[in-house]
Amino acid sequence: MKRTALFTAMFGASFFAHSAVTMDPVQDPNNVNGFVVSQSEIKAAEDALTLDPMYDTWSQALRTQPNAVVDAILPGAATNPENVKRVERVFPESDWNFLTQMAAPEYTYTRFLKAIGKFPAFCGDYTDGRDADAICKKSIITAFAHFSQETGGHIAKDNVSDNPLALEEWQQALVHVREMGWAEGQEGYTTGCGQDDWQNRRWPCATGQGYFGRGAKQLSYHFNYGMFSEVMFDGDATRLLNDPALVADSWLNLASAIWFFLTPQAPKPAMLHVIDRTWKPSQREIDAGIGYGFGTTINIINGGIECGEQNKNKGQPVNRIRYWEGLAAHYEIPIEADEKNTCWQQTPFGSLNLQGATDVLYTNWDGNWKYYADRPGGFSFECELVGFQTAYSALVPGDYEKCVTNFYGSHANWPTVRVVADADKPSTGNPGGGGEPVDPNAWSPTKVYNTGDRVVVDGVTYEAMYWTQGDDPLLSEAWGPWKKVL
């Protein structure tokens, strides 16, 4: 899908909306209370909202190699993908060994290469003159600074008994593969599991499994395991939900961190795009002190707890900054004049006021609840981009259609919508060619009726005495808005 210009739905739109596309829902001949839209309408509506080229950039960053390709990756193999060969050149196994002398045995250089090989955008090429080798090295060192905080040993250099090699703390990454205090077989981090909601319909918890922190990024909670599983296993969320231990005991322990590194959590950018400057901060972000540098990667990871003036001297961000500065000095990573290593001067992303902003892009779909007078019931039959997590991602192919059809039941009182091929969309009657046409005067629970409108229920005609929606004439005749006329 090619996108070429900015056209993003934002806050503050008029309640009475004018759509950028023409949706023409028709009554579903197979369901008196449902509607039909065509695939071309779905595509046009999605394309109109994702024209900015950043959506393509995000999608490309999350592109993956088949696991069969990943399984064949080995240090020095001639068949390794090009981004893996770049890593071997700028961060050879000797560097890995230098930084992982305390690491758990589940973390290996081979698994590191496999994790990177899964995602061609990590240490990938650039065609616009940017130095891909330098960006690659800076990305790896940034990741290790965060590994040192998330899973590091945190043992002082002069603590001879616990640190006999006198390793710097920034050399103590990847000590933990599972969250401290947790072990396989424990049902931890299952908050929300088993509820009848869209999170459980999309990412269902497995009985007896715990979703505590695992891997270099300490992946936690069932919805994160489900999302990561979809990326790793061709859309199958259940693979890691049923077997979360894979995130500790296989190359996924590092792939989970690379995935996080590449994934925007809009309005948060992907960490890679802060480092390679594909991301351009919006005016609201600039006003909030958010720009380029290691500090913004802290804000992306844990800004609500670690950024802002009140957290200036807090242990976690102070540690991260120390580790980054030690690593950057050792590996001679240049710090640009407009980069800041700290985030105490930044507003956390979660606290940004984006009301009315027109230069911020979002990555989740939710139902568009604006009123459209020319459509049944005033419903839009469209989805829009929002700045909070939903069941549907703008970066996942097919999720826009799932949003419109309310696939995971996340939109309360949304009309029943079915998507058909253009050739199968009826004007009236059955798109499949069978069954009886639906009476166009039949009452619909999603349609808005005004005074004087008439409907037919069980062969009886009713007239609306005032505005109504959702009131069944058979149930509300005695007290409601309908009166029997024929």
Return the active site residues.
Answer: 150
- Cβ(387)–Cβ(360) under 8 Å? yes
Separation of alpha carbons 33 and 248, rounded Å: 48
- Cα–Cα–Cα angle for 129, 135, 137, rounded to 5 degrees: 140
* Other Cβ atoms within 10 Å of 316 Cβ, number: 15
Reported residue count of the chain is: 486
Of 46, 177, 48, whose CA–CA distance to 104 is shortest? 177
Separation of alpha carbons 307 and 316, rounded Å: 10
Of 12, 35, 50, 61, whose CA–CA distance to 383 is shortest? 50
Separation of alpha carbons 65 and 120, rounded Å: 7
Amino acid identity, residue 309? E
Retrieve residue 109's tokens.
């250089």
End-to-end CA gap in the chain:
53
Q: How many helices (H) and strands (E) does the chain have?
A: 18, 9
* 267 cis-preceded (ω within 30 degrees of 0): yes
